[in-house]
Amino acid sequence: MSADQRRMRGRVAIVGAAEADEHGKLPHKSAFQLHAEAARNALADAGLHKDDVDAVFSAGLWMGSETAEYLGIRPRYVDGTQIGGCSFIAHVQHAMAAIAAGVCEVALITHGESGASRIGMPGTRFGADSFRLQFEVPFGLAGPPTGYALAAARHMHEFGTTNEQLAEVAVATRKWAILNPRAIMREPLTIDEVLASRMISWPLRLLDCCLVTDAGGAVVVTSAERARDCRAKPVYVLGTGEASTHVMVSQMPDFARWDAARLAGERAFAMAGVTHADIDVAEFYDAFTIVPIMGLEALGFCAPGEGGPFVAGQRTAPGGAFPMNTNGGGLSYTHSGMYGMFTLVEAVRQLRGECGPRQVPHARIALCHGLGGMFSAAATLIAGTEVP
């Protein structure tokens, strides 16, 4: 941890945050339309015009420049960093660095994904002679559930984590979704119903898995000085961290411990200079119920192996001691494929006090924690209503 990064605390702020106009199953819209809707809404939220934007960030091959072209923006700084669903949280850190260096001033970070309908999706497939297709896919690696199940099984083996504890996450998250009118899944859910849902890849059942939707989101980041002139109350970036340890799940250094998250979290807390007790609300990427459990451990909210007991007793539900995934998460609100953007949008809204029945009272410091690939990468953001 360098002193330089600590000096960055509070230097930039998120001044706009929004989703696309609609989400769910949208066969009438392309992925780029979802980018554009979210960008338009986030800029309106910030009180800025597209011509104010001089930096465009979006995750994927060519994505920064393709998004800029689609939106009619000619940026002087382009970033297409793709480290999975946490990319947008990492983009906030990249924007912070670029703004502080004087390379740009107003950064637009967008996400749009036709995850369910697959309309106008940029190419994301690995080649036939890639390492993944040579050394994993021939053995029946069948998408994310099979990969995450390998970590869940090892976590259960080493620490005694149970399916009931995994189900606690799904049930608590559903309770938040019921309070969010935009959430897709709003029927009450019980632990027994999660345990009775169909097996996908042991030990993960259907209701341990996130939704698959079409959705988009965007945030606008600028300097703290410029933020004071924006329409909405600034949400200051207090701490950021990112890390990458592998891409293929078979290369995961430790299947029971999420190393990338530990590294990203340490960096974000060190920069922010806050403690775990200072976090009022937490938005954890929840592609599968095991992910926030391993994230809570990696970030030090509990010891390694204690994530299961930590979430027991509906601790993360509305009214619980640890409000987590207050929009309903990827499990019950929406999950386009790269959910990290929605942790940012929800954290901004919580810190502005805009969340109505799901508002966490007096939320002043929020934590977003994103997941990339197969526990491959992680990015953490700590943000606050003021700079302590």
Partner 1 sequence: MPDYTGPLPVPTPETRPFWEAAHRHELHLQRCRTCGRHHFYPRGACPHCLSADLEWQRVSGRGTLHTFTVVHRGARNYPLPSPYVLAVIELAEGPRLMSNLIGVEADPARIRIGMPVEVVFDDVTPEIALPRFRPAGPPR
**Residue 200 in contact with partner 1, rule: CB under 8 A:** yes
**Residue 126 in contact with partner 1, rule: CB under 8 A:** no
**Residue 101 in contact with partner 1, rule: CB under 8 A:** no
**Residue 136 in contact with partner 1, rule: CB under 8 A:** yes
Please list, in sequence order, all residues whose beta carbon lies within 8 angstroms of the beta carbon of residue 81, skipping any fewer than 6 positions away: 57, 59, 87, 90, 91, 94
Output the six-digit token pair for 23.
Answer: 């989400």
* Distance from C-alpha of 69 to C-alpha of 122, rounded to nearest angstrom: 14
**Residue 39 in contact with partner 1, rule: CB under 8 A:** no
Q: Which is it for the CA torsion 361, 336, 51, 56, positive or negative? A: positive
**Residue 196 in contact with partner 1, rule: CB under 8 A:** no
Output the six-digit token pair for 282.
Answer: 């937490």
Map residues 209-228 to x or -, x wherever contact with partner 1 holds by CB under 8 A.
Answer: --------------------
Nearer to partner 1, 15 or 249 (CB): 249
**Residue 76 in contact with partner 1, rule: CB under 8 A:** no
Kindly state the smallest distance separating residue 60's Cβ from partner 1, in Å.
Answer: 23
CA dihedral 23, 24, 25, 26 (to 10 degrees): 0
Residue from 24, 120, 164, 202 touching partner 1 (CB under 8 A): that is 202
Kindly state the smallest distance separating residue 214's Cβ from partner 1, in Å.
Answer: 21
**Residue 203 in contact with partner 1, rule: CB under 8 A:** yes
CB 197 within 8 A of CB 359: no
DSSP state of 27: T
SS3 state of residue 270: helix
Query: How many chain residues bind partner 1 (CB under 8 A)?
Result: 35
**Residue 243 in contact with partner 1, rule: CB under 8 A:** no
Kindly state the smallest distance separating residue 160's Cβ from partner 1, in Å.
Answer: 13
Nearest to 29 by CA among 111, 117, 110: 117
By CB under 8 A, which span of 43-51, 70-78, 248-256, 276-284 interacts with partner 1? 248-256
**Residue 182 in contact with partner 1, rule: CB under 8 A:** no
**Residue 118 in contact with partner 1, rule: CB under 8 A:** no
Nearer to partner 1, 59 or 249 (CB): 249
Map residues 137-166 to x or -, x wherever contact with partner 1 holds by CB under 8 A.
Answer: xxxxxxx-xx--xxxxxx--x---------
Kindly state the smallest distance separating residue 212's Cβ from partner 1, in Å.
Answer: 13
**Residue 261 in contact with partner 1, rule: CB under 8 A:** no
By CB under 8 A, which span of 114-122, 133-141, 222-230, 266-274 interacts with partner 1? 133-141
Residue 72, classified by CB atoms within 10 Å of its CB into exposed (0-12), middle (13-18) or buried (19+), is exposed
Nearer to partner 1, 251 or 275 (CB): 251
Residue from 2, 51, 135, 225 touching partner 1 (CB under 8 A): that is 135
Q: Cis omega (within 30 of 0) on the bond before 234?
A: no
Tell me the CA distances in angstroms from 377 to 110, 126, 132, 371, 387, one per residue in order: 19, 18, 17, 6, 28
By CB under 8 A, which span of 32-40, 243-251, 280-288, 309-317 interacts with partner 1? 243-251
CB 348 within 8 A of CB 383: yes
Output the six-digit token pair for 289.
Answer: 């119920």
**Residue 131 in contact with partner 1, rule: CB under 8 A:** yes
Nearest to 343 by CA among 281, 297, 265: 281
SS3 state of residue 171: helix
* Distance from C-alpha of 62 to C-alpha of 74, rounded to nearest angstrom: 14
* Distance from C-alpha of 316 to C-alpha of 214, rounded to nearest angstrom: 26
Binders of partner 1 among residues 323 to 382 (CB under 8 A) are none
Nearest to 362 by CA among 353, 371, 354, 370: 353
Residues lying near partner 1 in the complex (CB under 8 A) = 128-129, 131, 133-143, 145-146, 149-154, 157, 198-204, 248-251, 255
